[in-house]
Structure 1
Amino acid sequence: MPRTGRLTAAATLLAAISVLATACTGQGGNTAADDPGKDVTLNFWHGWSAPSEIKAIEENIARFEKAHPNIKVQVTGNMTDDKINQALRAGGDKAPDVVASFTTDSVGKFCNSRAFADLNPLLKKSGIDKEKVFPKTLLEYTQFNGNQCTLPLLNDAYGLVYNKTAFAAAGITEPPRTWSQFTEVAQKLTKTSGDSYEQVGLMPTYHGYETTPMRLAAQWSPTYFGADGKSNLAKDPAFAKMLTAQKDLVDKLGGYEKLERFRNTFGDEWSAEHPFHTGKVAMQVDGEWRPSMAKEAGVPFEIGTAPLPVPDDQAADYGKGYLSGTIMGIASGSAKQNASWELVKYMTTDTEAVVAFANAIHNVPSTLAALESPDLQVTPESKTFLDIARHPKSGTTPAQADGGTYQLTFQDFAYAVEKGAVADIPAGLAKVDQQIDTDIAKAK
């Protein structure tokens, strides 16, 4: 599962990655000279920490080592990107050779700084046509300016998880498909209690866990940057429309302050006390992991899943959603890049390995072949997210030289809009564009 603090974590990494750029050699796969057939031990660092996730990684590595008996993999889990970057800067035998990261928003920085090696030469050497292996959207968030410094390792698709029992009690027979229906259903499902709530149909504020501006904006199919590379938020009406629609929903459900007071009573996102589990929230913007987590928490109601609603004027595109996921790369400073490539290639392109890992941790597979594999375990709930991942109009946030900073700038503006602190959204977006362009120019 992803970590909600990805953007915040990405912001703290920017300085570290910038420093790292001066220490990295920028070595690409075409200059790797090690013999992958010789006995070697690789250091593989990743961020998973839950027992089931650790077990799934260990099983995947065991399968790899069986197929490559000369390569041993020393696995270190629960590693933050901050710790990974510190180790990469320090270098030496204990530094990671291969890294799996949740921070897709930092791909632009990883590539631009040459912290990770360009995998294009290794893909070509192995005869792998990446366009035929990975979905187009996943390739978009794993490369920057032609530098494929990471590859997708599983996929996260975002949709709507809802309480079917609450729907039935409110006389709602199917999930909403358009934003106007979404607003109507959210109001029907909201039950007030004095100056607070017994239940909200949806927690629409941007701090409501996965209900981020980027997740919602994806339903409007926005264009973050123009053909000239400049920030495009003021010119593309999608952003103003999304911000206005979300603010309208906040107001109709009781207003920002009332909703935020209620949100502060919520349990941890990754615990059994999640507000969807406890019935405080009837609809949740979330990923493919939520239904299984809710079942493990023993919820007393039936769970449904659906794509997020789309704007009324884009009803024909219903089924799309926001995509992101885990990335995998090879440290540019590693002296074992060819051997490291064997591990990366196995974990990211081997259909059996990808499917087994996806089944184990309830994520969406990241290759086209794995998405269609008969061995993929598909439940009625997970099928929704698999379909979102396949939808041709599902989108993501593009990689940039400043990593996720441009998203933070947009997100901060969205916070101000939902509070009612912005009188002129188009004018505000124009200022956001200026800030984003300035930050990217500095990063370059």
Structure 2
Amino acid sequence: MFKLITGAVAGTAAALLLAGCTSAGPASSEPTTAISAGASHAPTTISVWTFNHLPNEVAAFTAALNRLHAKYPWLTVKFVPNKDDAAFAKAVAAGDPPDVFVASAPDNVGKFCANGTVADLGPYLSSAKVNTTATFPAATLVYTKYQGKQCALPLLTDAFGLYYNKKMFAAAGITTPPKTLSELAADAKKLTVKNGDGSIKTYGFVSRSDYNANRYIYTGVQSGTKFYGADGKATFGTDPKWQQLLQWDKSLGDSYGPGNVQKFVGRYQPHADDTNNPFLTGAAAMEFDGEWHIGEIDAAKKGIDYGIAPMPMLDSASGTYGAGDTLGTVAYLPAGSKHKQEGFFALQQLTTDTTFLNTLADTVSNIPSTFASLQSWDKANDPHWKPLVDMFKNPGSYYKTLTPAGEEDMDTWREFLLQYEQGKVANLPSGLAGIAKKIDNSNAQAGN
């Protein structure tokens, strides 16, 4: 479950901590073979850390780990919730990492893999006879591998779509959700409702990158571009579609009038995930969000008649409509674990056990991350969930290439996006070329 969004200061602090995280190396000459499920084993206690912290999430993990212990009494798990990437980096630097770490997002997979913080799971998977391509949908392998190494495994997946209020659509005479960004802008203007004093009562759609999940509109899929080219360089200065995407964004924001989008973000960003979310209150007719929003809407019990559709594409990329950003929770085996074989055993069970994945998916309102769990999941054909599951399976869905700089590239890109949206970038082509160079330099310094 990917909860958004860390602030720039918090992101920078985490980046500084992660920058100092270096290879922990193997703790011993322990073999990289998997433990057979039927083999006897000496009693062992391992630690599992996760970012999850809400009571229902912790309960779901605890129940799964208790089942694991009941099935394999030799394995005892010390479960520690509410640990983020920065806390993990500190533990690694101190020489005392957990045996399994579950992170909320994959942005640091490349960093942790490149600097040896986490183990290459390939030998363990081979020994355990786990065929990753037959077990996990292709979209999950994009964000769990780095330069051919399987340095993490997926544990639930996020997919992002366009939520739209059917009643508001009908009132505005709109019969189908938009498929292109020009259609989205036109519909947003039709759906915008003003109060008698000219202030905005309902926004059609707010695209600004610092609101809720919107930054994932600008990673490449929606514009038919790649964040990085085949040469490993950022494409912002060379692919004109980036300029078209940002101009669309700013034009839509400007159409609401000076300062109105800033007011919207200031008011609703603190409520992106609660009952005062603008889509729930009627302050927004459409919203780009992750699948967890379905659970939030259900919990609010406000009886909203809504639909979910793929996020529209830049007009020139309309042929790829249906694809979207897919990323999710990832599970690592720290290289410095003192119980790597036992840690992998637990990691394998958690990431491939259908009962656990489906139970956890229902608990946190996420999408299961194996073919088997998807096939047996009772929500797979639900009218709200199906568009997102289809997007997850779409061969055109992907996440940006991971690099040794970790989340620094996205932080840098987000800062530029916001500057442009606020009118602080005088020359867009020049600015895009400059930000591409800055990101390339960061990757070079990180060893890319």
Shorter-chain TM-score bucket reads over 0.9
Query: Given residue 127 of structure 1, which amino acid in structure 2 is its aligned partner?
Result: K
1: distance between equivalents of 2:7 and 2:260?
Answer: 26
Who is 2:372 aligned against? 369
2: distance between equivalents of 1:348 and 1:268?
Answer: 31
**Unpaired runs of at least 5, structure 1:** none
Between the two proteins, the alignment pairs up a number of residues equal to 440
CA RMSD of aligned residues (A): 2.3
2: distance between equivalents of 1:381 and 1:110?
Answer: 35
Alignment of 1:47-196 (within 5 A): 47-92=51-96, 95-193=97-195, 194-196=197-199
Query: Given residue 88 of structure 1, which amino acid in structure 2 is its aligned partner?
Result: V
Query: Given residue 83 of structure 2, which amino acid in structure 1 is its aligned partner?
Result: M
2: distance between equivalents of 1:275 and 1:122?
Answer: 46
2: distance between equivalents of 1:85 and 1:20?
Answer: 6
TM-score, scaled to structure 2: 0.92
2: distance between equivalents of 1:96 and 1:191?
Answer: 52
1: distance between equivalents of 2:226 and 2:417?
Answer: 17
2:209 to 199, 203, 206: 206
Who is 1:280 aligned against? 283
Q: Quick check: 1:227 aligned with 2:230?
A: yes
Alignment of 1:356-395 (within 5 A): 356-373=359-376, 375=378, 378-395=381-398
Q: Quick check: 1:440 aligned with 2:446?
A: no
Who is 1:245 aligned against? 248
Who is 1:324 aligned against? 327
Q: Is contact 2:155–2:329 with CA below 8 Å preserved after alignment?
A: yes
My pick for the range that moved more, 304-313 or 1-10, is 1-10
1: distance between equivalents of 2:160 and 2:28?
Answer: 33
Query: Given residue 201 of structure 1, which amino acid in structure 2 is its aligned partner?
Result: G
Query: Given residue 65 of structure 2, which amino acid in structure 1 is its aligned partner?
Result: I
Structure 1 position 140, deviation (Å) = 1.6
2: distance between equivalents of 1:407 and 1:192?
Answer: 35
1: distance between equivalents of 2:219 and 2:15?
Answer: 25
SS of 1:259 mapped into structure 2: helix
**Unpaired runs of at least 5, structure 2:** none
Structure 1 position 315, deviation (Å) = 2.6
Following TM superposition, the consecutive aligned residue runs of length 4 or more in structure 1 with deviations greater than 3 angstroms are 6-11, 26-36, 213-217, 374-378
TM-score, scaled to structure 1: 0.93
Structure 1 position 402, deviation (Å) = 0.4
Who is 1:13 aligned against? 14
2: distance between equivalents of 1:401 and 1:10?
Answer: 16
Structure 1 position 59, deviation (Å) = 2.2
1: distance between equivalents of 2:378 and 2:61?
Answer: 18
Q: Is contact 1:10–1:103 with CA below 8 Å preserved after alignment?
A: no
Alignment of 1:393-412 (within 5 A): 393-412=396-415
Who is 2:274 aligned against? 271
Who is 2:309 aligned against? 306
2: distance between equivalents of 1:352 and 1:247?
Answer: 45
Query: Given residue 415 of structure 2, which amino acid in structure 1 is its aligned partner?
Result: D
Cα separation, partners in 2 of 1:35 and 1:128, compared to 1, 3 Å: closer
Q: Is contact 2:380–2:386 with CA below 8 Å preserved after alignment?
A: no
1: distance between equivalents of 2:6 and 2:138?
Answer: 22
Structure 1 position 135, deviation (Å) = 2.1
Cα separation, partners in 2 of 1:368 and 1:84, compared to 1, 3 Å: same
Q: Is contact 1:6–1:102 with CA below 8 Å preserved after alignment?
A: no
Q: Is contact 2:35–2:345 with CA below 8 Å preserved after alignment?
A: no
Identity of aligned residues (%): 31
Cα separation, partners in 2 of 1:195 and 1:113, compared to 1, 3 Å: farther
Cα separation, partners in 2 of 1:134 and 1:27, compared to 1, 3 Å: farther
Q: Is contact 1:211–1:285 with CA below 8 Å preserved after alignment?
A: yes
Query: Given residue 292 of structure 1, which amino acid in structure 2 is its aligned partner?
Result: G
Cα separation, partners in 2 of 1:298 and 1:351, compared to 1, 3 Å: closer
Residue by residue over 1:255-296, the C-alpha shift from the partner in whole angstroms, topping out at 9 and shown as x without a partner, is 5x2211233222522221111111111111001111221121
1: distance between equivalents of 2:428 and 2:31?
Answer: 49
SS of 1:387 mapped into structure 2: helix
